[in-house]
Structure 1
Amino acid sequence: MTVQEETQQVVGGGVGAGGSAAPDRSRLRRRGARGRPGTVRPGGAARGTLGGRWWVPWVFLAPALILFLYFKFIPMAQAISMSVQDVKPYLGNTWVGAANYSEILGSEGFRSAAWNTVVLAVGQTFGSMVLGFGLALLVEGQTRKLSFIRSAAFLPVVVPLAVVAELWRIMYHPTADGLMNQVIGLVGLGPSGFINHPDSSLASIVVTGIWRGAPYDMMIFLAGLAGIDRGLYEAATVDGASTRQRILHVTLPGLRSVFAILFVLAAVRGFRSFTEVFLLTNGGPNGSTEVVMTLIYKLGLEQNRLGVGSAGAVLLFAATLVLTVCVQLLRRRRAA
């Protein structure tokens, strides 16, 4: 007998029996609560697809969280602790307070490395964003050919950075037979030393970073372009707007949040540049490409000054954190 038939029987029986339907209705309500999943019981939690087992998602997240804790957060805490100590492995550490910070901030090498880091981050950030935005406009669409082109353009991102650095090191060969020298020779420019000359080494690394970072920015721009209302483009076309005007007054305002996100990601990526600098120049020639990350590596692992190197790492983390917070505050202020 179904619930509906039983309800009709109870209602009919209650009318004939003179008021005995109330207990039967309550019994039906209890039975309905037991028979329908997802209902809320008095004094209990909602029964969902996990049967109230709130801990199940955390079980799946636990391996990743443990790895993050062991390889990221614990080393961060140790670096902060080491930055105020004179670290002597196997001999014991000595508390020195802010002496490590004073030493590294007063170092001419650190100031030069910090300036090179800012120049590298700014160049790579704006270069990759501009090139990525241009690529996104060119390959936007749903055709099969564009899908292949997008996949091919994204390849530099998935190639290991060590392979990218070695590839560009070969391309930057300083002789006239080098690939890049042959390319610039087509426009009448003489052979350049690229990474082997102090005046062009940092710019050469910036170009390498732009080449690798632009496809990543392109994919994020493509996701942002897909969210812009196509009716705005049609209305702008009807009003006689040119392609340039549609980009300035429709596309760029629609990608404002995307630009803010990419700015933070690209800036952090630029501040943390290490592998390409280490493999291409190792900070040379004559320190012209020395950045904070390579300086920290040399202080900590080559000169065994772990306390001073940790202080530099903490300063770099603080600068990245301040940049991220400032960008987020500006976004909220503009949104308000």
Structure 2
Amino acid sequence: MLGSIKSSSEGPALPTASAGTARTAVRRRAGTWRVALVPWLFLAPALVIFTWFKFYPMLSGFIMSFYDVQFYSDSEWIGLDNFARALSDADLRVAVWHTVIYVVVGTVCSSIIAFFMALALEGQARHLRVLRTAIFLPAITSAAIIAEVWRILFNSAHYGVVNSLLGFVGVDPQGFLTDPSQALWVLILMQVWKSTPYDMVIFIAGLVGINRELYDAANVDGASRLRSLWHVTLPGIIPSISVVVMLSFIRGIRVFAEVYATTGGGPAGSTETIMTHVYKVGFEDLDYGYASAVSLLLLLFTVLLTLIHMAIKTRISN
């Protein structure tokens, strides 16, 4: 009898414990959801702004690329005509050629200079850290400010800074930004000056990651500095090289502010790039459909370039 009473008294306790455990689990899940939701609440304003000013214009541009956009009448669907026009546009081909020169020459020069600067400035000494910070300043300076400074430096008048210096050594004033044969090279020089510090920091990060024992082993084997550089340093910074080249290519392809604020694509179209061409077609000629099509082609090319870079990087890693 006592046994039955005991068992009956213990029986109802099991559901109570199970219900309590279930409620605890529900509270834990609710707390987990709240914790996971908090970061998104903080990010929500930025995401809304980013979506409105980034993704919505991209979607609108994608749609407009298939239309002959008219402001005072209905826009006409023309399918792929804008893309076909881009492939046969002589002005666009000239802009592409200028962009290719700008990208290739700028990437090669800035990468080489940045690499040797990284070799010279690698270290933990306090003065090196201060010097690296000072050298990095051009990379974080506004493009508009840099363009204005270079316009002053390379003013074609005899009182321009560079022309004044050339006058001291008996060289006649040069056209620079007003000379079609020199303007693009001045812009490339400006890009190299601006991007080299950024590339240098990436190379320094790669150099720091190289195992120092490899250099010790090379010294034991009697390797010279040049052979150590070729067989130890360069293989060790291949990932950094790939990142620098990729970023330089993308940076050069989408260059706009530096060119537009300095020469506006002139003189005589000698510094016209893809982005300045898109700007003029879209905002001066008001041909938004064609400008959107060229922008979309540029986006697709950039994505393709990124995929190729990732494939090459994966193959090198393996």
- Of 233, 240, 247, which residue of structure 1 is paired with 2:222? 240
- CA shift, 1:64, in A, is 3.1
Equivalent residue letter for 1:206: I
- 1:181 equivalent to 2:150? Answer no
Letter in 2 for 1:113: A
Show the 5 A alignment for 1:236-275: 236-275=218-257
Q: Once the two structures are superposed, what CA deviation does each residue of 1:231-283 show, in whole Å capped at 9, x if it has no partner?
A: 11121122222222222111111111111112111111000111111111111
2:13 alignment partner in structure 1? none
Deviations 1:110-158 (A, max 9, x none): 1100111111111222222111111111111111111110011011012
Residue of structure 2 in register with 1:322 after alignment: 304
Cα distance, 1:190 vs. partner? Answer: 4.9
Q: Which residue of 1 aligns with 2:144?
A: 162
Specify every segment of 5 or more residues in structure 2 that has no aligned partner in the other structure, as ranges. 1-9, 11-16
Return 190-199 or 135-144, whichever deviates more: 190-199
> Displaced runs of 4+ in structure 1, greater than 6 A?
185-188
For the pair 1:91 / 2:83, whether they are aligned, the reply is no
Query: Which residue among 21, 45, 49 is the counterpart of 1:67?
Result: 49
**Is the alpha carbon distance of 1:304 and 1:61 closer, same or farther for their aligned partners in structure 2, counting shifts above 3 Å?**
same
Percentage identity across paired residues of the two chains: 41
Aligned pair partner of 1:76 in 43, 58, 71: 58
1:306 paired with 2:288, answer: yes
**Aligned match of 1:116 in 81, 98, 105?**
98
Matching residue of 1:153? 135
* Long gaps (5+) in structure 1: 1-22, 24-29, 35-40
Which amino acid in the other structure matches residue 181 of structure 1? Answer: N
Distance 1:241 1:79, change over 3 A: same
1:154 partner SS: helix
- Of residues 227, 230, 236, the one that matches 2:209 is 227
Match of 1:199 among 181, 190, 197: 181
Larger relative helix fraction: 2
Distance 1:61 1:236 in 2: 50
> Which amino acid letter does the alignment assign opposite residue 276 of structure 2?
T
| Bigger relative CO (Cα 8 Å, ≥ 6 apart) | 2
Report the counterpart of residue 265 of structure 2 in structure 1. 283
Q: TM-score, normalised by structure 2?
A: 0.86
Quote the offset at 1:177 in angstroms: 4.0
CA distance 1:63–1:224, shift in 2 (3 Å): farther
2:14 aligned partner: none
The amino acid across from 2:120 in the alignment is: L
1:297 corresponds to which residue?
279
Root mean square deviation of aligned Cα: 2.7
CA, structure 1 residues 64+98, in 2 after alignment: closer, same or farther (shift >3 Å)?
Answer: same
Matched, 1:133 2:124: no
Counterpart of 2:239, as a letter, is S
Q: TM (normalized to structure 1)?
A: 0.82
Work out the number of aligned pairs and report it. Answer: 299
